Amino acid sequence: MEYSFPHYLHSKQTVDDRALNKDVFHALKANLPPAPFSVIEIGAGIGTMLTRLIEWKLLTNADYLALDEMDENIAYASEWIPKWAESTGIRTERISAKKFRLHDRKRDVRITFERADVFDFIKTNPPKSDLLIAHAVLDLFSLPESLLKLFALTKSLAWLTVNFDGMTTFEPTIDTMLDTTIERLYHETMDTRPTGGDSQTGRHLFPHLHSVGADILAAGASDWVVHPTNGKYPADEKYFLHFILYFFEESLTGHKDLGADAFANWLAKRREQIERGELVYIAHQMDFLAKI
């Protein structure tokens, strides 16, 4: 199988749609200023959050800056978003290679994609947005110190979504001890990244946000739950599951505390479960709406 990170981001769109905590989302809608307002999303990937928020009618008149450090994500977005807009009847006006305007009778959203490391971007002292979005990225950062830097991007609101919180489950069980060991070692790789990270970011955001003077307006679970129905996975979620196993393979191959043959056999059996439409995958995560 060919592993493409933009394809993975596309394949998890429906997984995130289900996972995002709807109570936290309703709190976001209730606390946003009147349109037009401005949004900065860090780690924006291929723009799936942008299209979701248009579909969910949160964005009707807005300026949206999508920040990502991967050229391939931005290249994918610049091709995919106009096609998505056309399929939904929204007109696309391409202002430049990385600037678009999506508009119809009900919506007018101005979009800029920018490739940059978020902390380098912050050093340029950009204008503050009405809303900062950090989707499935905070567990990659060193917290709480990174929060103070990130919050320089917003006037008030931060929507912090899908923050991993220390639980991964694969069903059915292959070997209870081996399953537990692999999951534990995978979480440990998150805690020992040279760039920072925390496998329990979700629960730790409660004290972290308080420590930087932020008020938590809403919080709730945003678990990924992927399971087959009648032996088939919805949308492109079969690819999503294969990519999750690819993350495990990349992180744990050669680990001193994991037998090579046992791990290879475990991966092969999990992949067979996907192909047979049997594998169930659950990851526990948390959403927050914070006021700075």
Instruction: List, for residues 2-24, the tens digit of each pLDDT value.
Output: 999 999 999 999 999 999 999 99
In angstroms, the CA 187 to CA 184 distance is 5
**What pLDDT score does 28 carry?**
98
Quick one: pLDDT band at residue 194, thresholds 50, 70, 90? confident
Question: What average pLDDT does range 203-208 have in this prediction?
Answer: 98
Whether 1 has a pLDDT exceeding 90, the answer reads no
- The CATH number that applies at residue 217 is 3.40.50.150
Quote the percentage of the chain above a pLDDT of 90: 97
Whether 175 has a pLDDT exceeding 90, the answer reads yes
End-to-end distance of the chain based on CA atoms, in angstroms? 44
Q: CB of 139 within 8 A of CB of 163?
A: yes
Whether 39 has a pLDDT exceeding 90, the answer reads yes
Quick one: pLDDT band at residue 48, thresholds 50, 70, 90? very high
Quick one: pLDDT band at residue 170, thresholds 50, 70, 90? very high
Structure-block tokens of residue 290: 């914070």
Q: CB of 289 within 8 A of CB of 222?
A: no
Nearest residue to 225 via CA among 162, 173, 180: 162
C-alpha radius of gyration, the chain, whole number:
19
Helices 260-275 & 176-191, crossing angle to 10 degrees? Answer: 100
- 218-264: per-residue pLDDT in tens? 999 999 999 999 999 999 999 999 999 999 999 999 999 999 999 99
For residue 159, what is the enclosing H or E element? strand 154-171
Whether 38 has a pLDDT exceeding 90, the answer reads yes
Question: What average pLDDT does range 278-291 have in this prediction?
Answer: 98
- 81-132: per-residue pLDDT in tens? 999 999 999 999 999 888 999 999 999 999 999 999 999 999 999 999 999 9
**What pLDDT score does 283 carry?**
98
Which domain covers residue 252, as residue numbers? 5-291
Our count of domains for the chain comes to: 1
**What pLDDT score does 196 carry?**
86
**What pLDDT score does 266 carry?**
98
- On average, the pLDDT of the chain sits at 97
Lowest mean pLDDT among 14-23, 46-55, 190-199, 221-230: 190-199
